[in-house]
Amino acid sequence: MNIIPVILAGGIGHRLWPLSREHFPKQCLSLIDQEFSLLQQTLLRTASLDVADPIVVCNEDYRFLVAQQLQSIGVKNSSIVLEPEGRNTAPAIALAALEVKQVYGADAFMLVLPADHVIRDLVAFETSILKAVELAKSNTLVTFGVQPTRPETGYGYIRSADDYQVAEFVEKPDLEKAEAYLASGDYLWNSGMFLFQADTYLAELSSHRKDIADAVIAAYENRHEDMDFVRIDAELFAQCPEESIDFAVMEPTNKAKVVPYTGDWSDIGAWDALYDYADKDADNNVLLGDVMAEGTSSCLIRSESRLVAAVGVKDLVIVETADAVLVMDKNQAQDVKKIVKRIKQENREEHMFHTTVHRPWGTYETVDLGGRHQVKRIMVKPGKKLSVQMHHHRAEHWVVVSGTAKVQNGDREILLTENESTYIPVGVVHALENPGKIPLEIIEVQSGSYLGEDDIVRFIKP
pLDDT one-digit tens code per residue, 144-159: 999 999 998 888 999 9
pLDDT at 107 > cutoff 90: no
- Stretch 114-128: mean pLDDT: 92
pLDDT at 419 > cutoff 70: yes
pLDDT tens, position by position, 2-27: 899 999 998 888 899 999 998 888 89
For residue 434, what pLDDT is reported?
A: 97
H helix or E strand, kind and range, residue 89:
helix 89-104
H helix or E strand, kind and range, residue 63:
helix 63-72
User: 1 pLDDT band (50/70/90 cuts)?
Assistant: low
For residue 142, what pLDDT is reported?
A: 97
Q: How far apart are CA 388 and CA 280, in angstroms?
A: 50
Q: Are 391 and 449 in contact (CB under 8 A)?
A: no
Q: Where are the alpha helices (DSSP H) in 142-270?
A: 175-184, 198-208, 210-221, 234-237, 245
Q: How far apart are CA 445 and CA 184, in angstroms?
A: 64
Do the domains 356-460 and 3-261 match in fold?
Answer: no
Say what percent of the chain tops pLDDT 90.
73
pLDDT tens, position by position, 328-373: 999 999 899 999 999 999 998 898 878 888 888 998 998 888 889 9
Which residues have C-beta within 8 Å of that of residue 132, sequence separation ≥ 6? Answer: 142, 144, 195, 259
Question: Is residue 204 classed as helix, strand or coil in its secondary structure?
Answer: helix
For residue 154, what pLDDT is reported?
A: 83
- Stretch 275-287: mean pLDDT: 94
Mean pLDDT for the chain?
Answer: 92
Nearest-10 Cα torsion for 202, 206, 211, 215: 30
Domain borders along the chain are 3-261, 273-341, 356-460
For residue 7, what pLDDT is reported?
A: 95
Residue 307 φ then ψ, to 5°: -65, 130
3-261: CATH topology is Spore Coat Polysaccharide Biosynthesis Protein SpsA; Chain A (3.90.550)
Residue 332 φ then ψ, to 5°: -115, 35
356-460 CATH:
2.60.120.10
> Which has the minimum average pLDDT: 43-57, 180-194, 377-391, 392-406?
43-57
- Stretch 312-325: mean pLDDT: 96
User: 461 pLDDT band (50/70/90 cuts)?
Assistant: low
C-beta neighbour count of 324 within 10 angstroms: 19
User: What is the chain's Cα-based Rg?
Assistant: 24
pTM here is 0.83
pLDDT at 462 > cutoff 70: no
Name 358's bridge partners. 363
